[in-house]
Amino acid sequence: MLNMLNLRLQQGAFNLLASVPNLSPKIYAVMGPSGAGKSTLLAALAGFVPVQSGTLSWQGIDITSWKPADRPMAMLFQDNNLFPHLTAERNIALAVTQHRILTKSTRQKILTALMRVGLEVFGDYKPGQLSGGQQSRVALARVLLQDKPIVLLDEPFNALGPALKNDMLDLLQILAHERKSLVLMVTHNPEDALRIAHETLLVSDEQVSLPVSTPDLLANPPPALATYLGKRVTVQ
């Protein structure tokens, strides 16, 4: 279980309070108006943004002061953060080692990760030789190699076309189920939230809500979210 207990974030005039206990392994969408603090929340959970007060714990262990590398979390950003001069294999290897020479064991782990995302024959390709969808798969493979129980996604597939994005969301759903991962995915797209997450954390008015049903939230969004979305969502 992931517990955010009276977690307060502050950056200048910006404030955000998160008190969300007992998040279990499943996929949650994170939604809210622009500038509400969705990306800041994920960055704080990953340890990149300091918290002013409160407690963050995982499986009963206080991890509030842990360094990012020590936290049980892997983060995937919108731009994938791939190094253009490195091959897919080398980009993925950065998840576990900085050494130029990879051991047989590390190479096997990388190959396994590539196989899970359907790119086992693309290990020697550089990002510029890959399509946008393939680059996203490489970034996802790097997250898999970290083997962390919590995955934080900050609109990672936003730049992809609808078909490729749906493929990536479906793959993420399969992998999260297989690995029993806890996934928090920031998205501004209601269809993406409905496709992958039964529950959503709403970030609005300087607070993070308790998880609510995604279909229920999008069928009757609060005013700030409704204004941001610009329209009501048809929930089937």
**174 inside domain:** no
Looking at the fold, whether 161 and 235 belong to one and the same domain comes out as yes
Range of the domain at 16: 1-72+150-165+181-236
* Through-space distance between the first and last CA atoms of the chain, rounded to whole angstroms: 30
Looking at the fold, whether 217 and 200 belong to one and the same domain comes out as yes
Amino acid 79: pLDDT? 72
Looking at the fold, whether 206 and 98 belong to one and the same domain comes out as no
Amino acid 10: pLDDT? 87
Looking at the fold, whether 13 and 64 belong to one and the same domain comes out as yes
**170 inside domain:** no
Looking at the fold, whether 157 and 48 belong to one and the same domain comes out as yes
Amino acid 152: pLDDT? 95
CA angle 97, 93, 180 (to 5 degrees): 100
**120 inside domain:** yes
Looking at the fold, whether 155 and 236 belong to one and the same domain comes out as yes
Looking at the fold, whether 116 and 129 belong to one and the same domain comes out as yes
Looking at the fold, whether 158 and 236 belong to one and the same domain comes out as yes
Looking at the fold, whether 154 and 210 belong to one and the same domain comes out as yes
Looking at the fold, whether 61 and 87 belong to one and the same domain comes out as no
- What is the chain's pLDDT, residue by residue, as a tens digit (236 residues)? 999 999 999 888 889 999 999 999 999 999 999 889 999 999 999 999 999 999 999 999 999 999 998 999 999 877 778 899 999 999 999 887 777 788 888 889 888 889 888 899 999 999 999 988 888 889 888 888 888 999 999 988 877 788 888 888 998 898 889 889 999 999 999 999 999 999 999 999 999 999 999 999 999 998 888 888 875 555 55
Give the predicted TM-score (pTM) of the model. Answer: 0.87
Amino acid 101: pLDDT? 81
Looking at the fold, whether 120 and 155 belong to one and the same domain comes out as no
Return the CATH number at 199: 3.40.50.300
Instruction: Report the number of distinct structural domains present in the chain.
Output: 2
Looking at the fold, whether 143 and 159 belong to one and the same domain comes out as no
Give rounded-to-5 percent helix, strand, coil for the chain: 35, 25, 40
**175 inside domain:** no
Report the alpha-carbon distance of residue 137 to residue 169 in Å, rounded. Answer: 11
C-beta neighbour count of 137 within 10 angstroms: 25
How far from 144 is each of 7, 83, 137, 141, 205, CA to CA, in Å? Answer: 28, 18, 10, 5, 34
Amino acid 233: pLDDT? 53
Amino acid 234: pLDDT? 54
Cβ contact 173:165 at 8 Å:
no
